[in-house]
Every structure is written in structure tokens, then in C-alpha cells.
Amino acid sequence: MDVTVLLFAAHRELAGGKANTVVTLPERSTVDGLLAELRARGGGWASLPRRAAVAVNRSYANGDTVLSEGDEVALIPPVAGG
């Protein structure tokens, strides 16, 4: 299945400047599985911070959240609004 990964701010710069990327994963993969897959790409991806919040389809999710085909998964760096 394919999911779309969105990257913001410092994460995007680590990953070479691309704001989004499509990742193919085994069915029933979790958010943690996706993060492991991204880090395994090496380069800047390997240095994605251990501490990251994740949103699936625009709501905060946990590492064990199971993903589905077409999900929009955003890596959320520590937020700094206001």
C-alpha cells in the first residue's frame, strides 16, 4: 500500500528539502514501521529525530496506529506557534 508522508520545517531540510514523498509499505504497517522505513533510507533521513509527533489524516496519532492505503502521514516537529 502507498501512504503520503509530509515533512515540515527542520525535518524537511534534513530530508533534502522535499515537502512530501510517497512510501510503499506492507499492508497493516504502523506509524513506527513507517518511521523505521524512512530512517533506513539513510542520508538525512537517518537523522530524523527520535522525538517526533505524527498526525495521520490531520489528527495526532500514536506509534502503534495502523496505516491504510492513501493515508496522509505528517511528521510534526516540536511545535512553536504563537
Partner 1 sequence: MVWSDITTENIDPGDVLARVGRPGDGAVAFFAGVVRNENQGRPVSGMEYEGYDEMAGKELAAIVGEAAERAGGGRVAAVHRLGRLAVGEVSVAIAVSAPHRAEAFDAARYVIEEIKKRLPVWKREHYLDRDAEWLEGHLPAAEAK
Q: Does 77 bind partner 1 (CB under 8 A)?
A: yes
Q: Does 28 bind partner 1 (CB under 8 A)?
A: no
Contact track, partner 1, 44-73, x by CB under 8 A: ------xxxxxx--xxxxxx----------
Kindly state the helix (H) or strand (E) to which residue 34 belongs, with its residue range.
helix 31-39
Specify whether the CB–CB gap between 77 and 11 falls below 8 A: yes
**Smallest distance, Å, CB 30 to partner 1?**
9
Q: Does 31 bind partner 1 (CB under 8 A)?
A: yes
Q: Distance between CA 49 and CA 4 in Å, rounded?
A: 19
**Smallest distance, Å, CB 77 to partner 1?**
6
Q: Distance between CA 49 and CA 35 in Å, rounded?
A: 10
